[in-house]
């Protein structure tokens, strides 16, 4: 599958809208598009999925390792994979430039053109040259001008670009192309989708065929990874392993598609909506992903799912909660309005929402004892981004030491019975979900 990385000169230049416009433009030309996102984000991929109609793959070498990230890329299906970058092209220790280099994909640079023409070309040229200075094999192979008017403005940018940096189109300045924000980032794709009219207008400015020519097949052996992915998919069709109940609704919406793929290959998956008032199905274990439990705290407080979880957890049912899942498994959740709601009461901690984020980083955890997702002494890599703080009981037990990141006062993995709650999100390439499923039959 050919691919291209849509990267920005900085955060806030319009990468998400540009990515969506590129996807729409390519689809209109008859290409089957596979969306993807560099980094650990859950929100931008929800916008990709809303527009393209298929899950967007998360590509992060810290979470997945280099080969794991390539396996995730190989899971995609289509003619062209469009990867949205994170922050500016070279920002961060797991930068978009590094992702593009590891995947051997060309970069299309999104430059904010609100107040420039020739200077936009100079900026793009500098970004192309800076790869050598950084020692990263990042191939900046084209430019899209964000918030650029047509006519003389667009022509000035196009004419100023050198031959090796083709002009691949523009995104017009329009209030209809703004996506609302809340804490943790943009609204989700199914909450605040761009109108078809606005997206079509943006796609009109993309030179889809020229962009498709820039996209290329990776130089590494994709077939080697695709064979493993196909074998896993075949296993999912006839697996008779344990059943995992997975919470999926507006409160528990941050889950990597690869996680669901992996769980389905290892056993059976039964989806449950705590917000919708579902009963807990028959299962051998439960996974509560992250999301926005604070937005639905009242519904969760009265949910039969949480009350059943409390009973089943006390009887030894393995339960794994990440971030929002940790919050739902706690004693209580207090919103920024000061309203306190009882949660499942399994983990000995009270959680309070804050006005400012409490942690944002890639993390590394070392298991102090064997737990649901790691053996004693093993390390797990993950990501944390949350606006809540947890106040654990003085006798609370933790499964991990934090070697990088914040966790809960320098520790991580609240544990009680066979329940584990972490602020960290992990990817299945870490092996955490394989270990979790293996524990269900212990």
Which residues carry out catalysis? 323
Residues near 438 by beta carbon (within 8 Å), at least 6 away in sequence? none
Which of 90, 86, 81, 187 lies closest to 133, judged by CA? 90
Q: Alpha-carbon distance 365 to 337, whole Å?
A: 33
353: three-class secondary structure by DSSP = strand
Q: What angle do CA 82, 85, 87 make, to 5 degrees?
A: 160
**β-sheet bridge partners, residue 34:** 81
Handedness of CA 379, 385, 391, 393 (dihedral sign): negative
Place of tokens 């809960």: 408
Handedness of CA 126, 129, 130, 131 (dihedral sign): positive
Q: Alpha-carbon distance 163 to 66, whole Å?
A: 32
Place of tokens 């009680």: 416
Residues near 78 by beta carbon (within 8 Å), at least 6 away in sequence? 1, 31, 32, 33, 34
**β-sheet bridge partners, residue 414:** 398, 421
Q: Alpha-carbon distance 174 to 358, whole Å?
A: 33
Other C-beta atoms lying within 10 Å of the C-beta of residue 28 = 13
Place of tokens 């964000």: 146
Q: Alpha-carbon distance 274 to 103, whole Å?
A: 38
Where does residue 425 fall: left (phi above 0), alpha (psi -120 to 50 degrees), or beta otherwise?
beta
């Amino acid at each position: 599958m050919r691919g291209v990385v849509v990267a920005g000169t900085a955060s806030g230049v319009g990468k998400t809208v540009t990515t969506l416009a590129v996807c729409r433009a390519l689809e209109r030309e008859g290409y089957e598009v596979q969306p993807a996102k560099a980094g650990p984000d859950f929100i931008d991929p929800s916008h990709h999925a809303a527009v393209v109609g298929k899950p967007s793959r998360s590509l992060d070498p810290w979470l997945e390792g280099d080969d794991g990230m390539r396996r995730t890329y190989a899971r995609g299906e289509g003619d062209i994979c469009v990867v949205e970058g994170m922050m500016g092209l070279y920002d961060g220790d797991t930068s978009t430039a590094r992702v593009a280099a590891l995947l051997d994909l060309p970069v299309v640079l999104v430059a904010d053109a609100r107040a420039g023409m020739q200077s936009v070309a100079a900026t793009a040229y500098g970004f192309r040259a800076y790869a050598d200075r950084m020692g990263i094999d990042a191939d900046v192979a084209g430019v899209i001008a964000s918030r650029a008017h047509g006519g003389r403005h667009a022509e000035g940018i196009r004419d100023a670009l050198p031959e090796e940096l083709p002009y691949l189109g523009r995104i017009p300045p329009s209030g209809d192309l703004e996506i609302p924000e809340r804490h943790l980032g943009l609204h989700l794709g199914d909450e605040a989708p761009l109108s078809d009219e606005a997206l079509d207008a943006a796609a009109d400015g993309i030179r889809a065929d020229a962009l498709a020519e820039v996209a290329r097949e990776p130089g590494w052996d994709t077939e080697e990874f695709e064979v493993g992915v196909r074998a896993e998919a075949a296993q999912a069709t006839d697996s008779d392993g344990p059943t995992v109940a997975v919470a999926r609704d507006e409160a528990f919406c941050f889950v990597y598609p690869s996680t669901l793929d992996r769980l389905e290959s290892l056993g059976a998956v039964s989806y449950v909506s705590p917000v919708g008032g579902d009963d807990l199905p028959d299962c051998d274990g439960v996974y509560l992903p992250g999301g926005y439990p604070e937005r639905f705290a009242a519904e969760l407080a009265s949910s039969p799912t949480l009350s059943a979880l409390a009973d089943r957890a006390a009887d030894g049912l393995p339960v794994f909660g990440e971030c929002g899942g940790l919050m739902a498994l706690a004693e209580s959740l207090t919103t920024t309005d000061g309203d306190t709601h009882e949660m499942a009461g399994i983990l000995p901690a009270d959680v309070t929402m804050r006005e400012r984020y409490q942690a944002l980083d890639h993390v590394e955890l070392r298991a102090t004892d064997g737990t649901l997702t790691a053996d004693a002494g093993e390390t797990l890599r993950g990501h944390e981004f949350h606006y809540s703080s947890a106040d654990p009981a003085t006798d609370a037990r933790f499964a991990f030491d934090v070697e990088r990141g914040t966790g809960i006062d320098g520790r991580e993995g609240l544990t009680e019975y066979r329940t584990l709650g972490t602020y960290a999100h992990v990817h299945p390439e870490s092996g955490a979900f394989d270990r979790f499923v293996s524990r269900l039959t212990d």
